[in-house]
Structure 1
Amino acid sequence: MRLSISVVFSSVAGYFLGAEIIDWGIVLLLSVGGYLMVGASNAYNQVLERDLDALMDRTKNRPVASGRMSTTVAMAIAIAFTILGLLTLFYINPQTAMFGGISIFMYVLLYTPLKTKTPLSVFVGAFPGAIPFMLGWVAATNDFGIEPGTLFMIQFFWQFPHFWAIGWFLYDDYKKGGFFMLPTGKRDKGTATQVILYTVWTILISIIPAFGYTGNLFLSPAAAIIVGGLGLFMLYWAIKLYQNRDAKTAKRLMLSSVTYITLLQIVFVVDKFLR
């Protein structure tokens, strides 16, 4: 549920950024449609990974893995959520439904099976994971351009330090299920270096709107300073991970990354309505 709510939050933030006039009916439809799409993706995932989920402490109590729910019921829920979610998003506009469909396809049929094959699964999974922030703008404008593309890139690059931090402190548990989450496959300097690099890229992309290169998506100098400061807080923990290379620091990096993306979206929205 936490994941679903975070996706809805990102989508609504993107809508507020793209809308000239807030239509609360569209906000409701976007929230319901987004929630259903994430629910569908999670349901498909739990069916496909039920045997692996049963091996890991963090997932062994999931409904399908624990045997509390049959795969038939789970698939029925997944299919129903997919149909209802797509119809809800299509009612907003066809492009929103299209991107919602792409998100489910990439998450279920590409990212999920790749998780046990290659660390590149995180790269593939970053595509559907980056769609929600962008989706809100498309829902508001029925158009895809530089603005939603920038929102997509912010959340795309942010996911690498976020998920590598999770992969680091849950390394032993992921290993039980045969998942490859870290770029080098190990909790080493190579992984920590890449965490720092992707954190820096995330910060740089996040402040690009302040320079006037992203169309109608703009960030004031004051807001850019705040976003940059939030980014430096996350970068601090990325550097600490390189120095300490322990699970405790990785967890703090994960928490700082969640704080970063949440406050960034709030700052972007507040900055728009204060201008």
Structure 2
Amino acid sequence: MSRSKSAIQEPTVISDFKEITKMRLSLSVVFSSLAGYLLGVDVIDLKVLVLLAFGGYFMVGASNAFNQIIEKDLDALMDRTKNRPIPSGRMPVNTAFIIASIFTLLGIIILYTINKQTAMFGAISIFLYTCVYTPLKTKTPISVFVGAIPGAIPFMLGWVAATDNFGIEPGTLFALQFFWQFPHFWAIGWFLFEDYKKGGFFMLPTGKQDRGTAVQVIMYTIWTIIVSIIPVFGFTGELKLSVVAAVIVFLCGLFMLHYAVRLFREMTEKAARQLMLVSVSYITLIQIVYVIDKFIR
């Protein structure tokens, strides 16, 4: 009996741990960091690569855990989040806080072993996400702007880990992921509008599913496309892009823009969901193209 019980409980504990740290999101952020590292490094150091992966995962996991502690009462109001470990009662707040604290310490220590700047930017991302972005979500749509800053740090963080230097190159990587987050999060805010409203979250720039929001989605998608091809013009130091890669990146951007325009035309939750899915594919593809281009150029 006890064996069958533990067999049932074990996946629950594991799945709750994945949920409190948002494992899938954390792994996608780690992917961004590793792509940034590969772009910045001359000779790949597997030890640094592994440290960056674990350090990045701990930092993002900590941010997500702190976020769920702060928003536990609001999460209980929304269908999307009411079954999370804390609002459902499966995980005590104290347990989540211990996990978040341990992850923060481990993340900063591991990133510090790479270099001080990497640890500093990691710490800044946790602070902004937890102490600024999370409280602002229920007060103003500007929260998306604030949240885009820690969200854009990972791609840049990889370059800083590789070079111990912050300049035009990691700044460009930061700008690319920064602008991309607006159409991405506004698409999510659009198709989850009613659910977010239950929790009192203001995610859309106009506060409504209207033409004003759709126009801004298009504008920020265009900014994303522009920033993504800037390295081909040679303005970004060691961050370079071949003409062929720039064309591929540009075409990927036009594909995403097509779905942004579709949202403007159709104004539906289905169109917003499609844009969100395309935006995830877009940022992943862009990072892969950048890395492949560097190593075959």
Query: Normalized against structure 1, the TM-score is what?
Result: 1.00
Q: Which runs of structure 2 are paired with 1:61-210 in the superposition (5 Å)?
A: 61-210=83-232
SS of structure 2 residue aligned to 1:33: helix
User: 1:270 and 1:47 mapped to 2: Cα distance?
Assistant: 39
User: 1:39 and 1:63 mapped to 2: Cα distance?
Assistant: 14
User: 1:162 and 1:43 mapped to 2: Cα distance?
Assistant: 22
The code of the aligned residue for 1:126 comes to A
Report what 2:270 is aligned to: 248
Report what 2:3 is aligned to: none
User: 1:226 and 1:2 mapped to 2: Cα distance?
Assistant: 27
Unmatched runs of 5 consecutive residues or more in structure 2: 1-22
The code of the aligned residue for 2:42 comes to E
User: 1:73 and 1:257 mapped to 2: Cα distance?
Assistant: 34
The code of the aligned residue for 2:132 comes to L
SS of structure 2 residue aligned to 1:217: coil
Report what 2:279 is aligned to: 257
Per-residue CA deviation, residues 97-116 of structure 1 (Å, 9 max, x unaligned), is: 00000000000000000000
User: 1:39 and 1:239 mapped to 2: Cα distance?
Assistant: 34
| Pick aligned residue for 2:233 from 183, 194, 211 | 211
Report what 1:40 is aligned to: 62
TM-superposed deviation, 1:93: 0.4
Aligned pairs, how many? Answer: 275
Report what 2:30 is aligned to: 8
The code of the aligned residue for 1:188 comes to D
User: 1:166 and 1:263 mapped to 2: Cα distance?
Assistant: 20
Per-residue CA deviation, residues 154-181 of structure 1 (Å, 9 max, x unaligned), is: 0000000000000000000000000000
User: 1:17 and 1:83 mapped to 2: Cα distance?
Assistant: 27
The code of the aligned residue for 1:92 comes to I
TM-superposed deviation, 1:2: 1.2
Query: Normalized against structure 2, the TM-score is what?
Result: 0.92
TM-superposed deviation, 1:65: 1.2
Answering whether residue 84 of structure 2 is matched by residue 51 of structure 1, we say: no
User: 2:65 and 2:259 mapped to 1: Cα distance?
Assistant: 33
The code of the aligned residue for 2:123 comes to G
Task: Give the 4+ runs in structure 1 shifted more than 3 A.
Answer: none
Unmatched runs of 5 consecutive residues or more in structure 1: none
SS of structure 2 residue aligned to 1:57: coil
The code of the aligned residue for 1:42 comes to N
The code of the aligned residue for 2:135 comes to P
User: 2:90 and 2:165 mapped to 1: Cα distance?
Assistant: 43
User: 2:97 and 2:147 mapped to 1: Cα distance?
Assistant: 21
Structure showing greater radius of gyration is 2
SS of structure 2 residue aligned to 1:216: coil
Answering whether residue 277 of structure 2 is matched by residue 238 of structure 1, we say: no
User: 1:182 and 1:118 mapped to 2: Cα distance?
Assistant: 9
RMSD, aligned α-carbons = 0.4
SS of structure 2 residue aligned to 1:140: helix
Report what 2:248 is aligned to: 226
User: 1:52 and 1:157 mapped to 2: Cα distance?
Assistant: 28
TM-superposed deviation, 1:68: 0.6
User: 1:64 and 1:94 mapped to 2: Cα distance?
Assistant: 34
Identity, in percent, stands at 69
User: 1:144 and 1:114 mapped to 2: Cα distance?
Assistant: 28
User: 2:277 and 2:102 mapped to 1: Cα distance?
Assistant: 33
User: 1:228 and 1:254 mapped to 2: Cα distance?
Assistant: 18
